Every structure is written in C-alpha cells, then in structure tokens.
Amino acid sequence: MAEHTDQDSRGAAERRAGIVGVLAGVVRWAGLLIALLLVVHVILVMGNANPDNGITSFVRAMAEPLSLAFKNLFTPDDAKLGVLINYGLAAVFWLAVSSVAARLIRRLG
C-alpha cells in the first residue's frame, strides 16, 4: 500500500511540475512576443513606414498599450528618437518582467 501511495505522490508531483513548467514557459513566451511587437514598432517608425498602411497601423495600435508608462517617458526633440528610447525601454521591461515572473513561477511551483 505504501508503494502505491509513493507512486501516486510522484505522479502528482510530476504533473504539477509539468503544469508549472508550461505556465512559466507561457509567461516567458508572452513577454518575448510583447517585446518583439514593440521592437517591430520601433523598426517601422525608424524606417519611415507608411503610417496609413494596415500592418503599420495594426502594429502601432498593439504596441501603444503595451508600452505602458514608457510611451512618453522621454520627450526628445526628435520624435523617432523618442520612439526608439521609450518603446525600447518598454521592450526591455517586458523581457525582464517575464523572465523574473517565469523564475518565480518555477520556484514557487
């Protein structure tokens, strides 16, 4: 009977570890995708992409809320430089936060 309980415990621990691993992976990938979207927005702005183009407007519409408070943190005279700095900082923020969150999930799980 004790052997059966040990197997059940190991099975439950393995399932929990699998779920925790998947959750941590999802958090990490979400952070990476958000950072990628912000970087694509910076590239489109720096490259003078047509702001009326569907792709450009879609990326801008998705990137703006994800830039959080970084969107207008710095206001240099050059608007492109502002986008580079502010959205770049937002991308770094998302990478850092998702990395820390994934580690916490793995540790606490």
Joined together, the tokens standing for residue 73 give 């943190």
Q: Give the least confident one: 3-12, 28-37, 99-108.
A: 3-12
Q: Does the pLDDT at position 16 exceed 60? A: yes
Question: How far is 38 from 55, CA to CA, in rounded Å?
Answer: 13
> What percent of the chain has pLDDT above 70?
94
Note the pLDDT of residue 46. Answer: 97
More confident: 2 or 106:
106
Question: How far is 34 from 28, CA to CA, in rounded Å?
Answer: 10
Instruction: Record the pTM.
Output: 0.86
The pLDDT confidence band at residue 59, using thresholds 50, 70 and 90, is very high
For residues 34-59, average pLDDT: 98
Q: Per the structure, how many domains does the chain have?
A: 1
Domain that holds residue 102: 2-108
Which of 81, 108, 102, 107 is CA-nearest to residue 32? 102
Question: How far is 59 from 41, CA to CA, in rounded Å?
Answer: 6
65-107 pLDDT, tens digit per residue, is 999 999 999 999 999 999 999 999 999 999 999 999 999 999 9
Query: Whats the size of the chain, residue-wise?
Result: 109
Which residues, in sequence order, are CB contacts of 75 under 8 Å at separation 6+? 82
The pLDDT confidence band at residue 61, using thresholds 50, 70 and 90, is very high
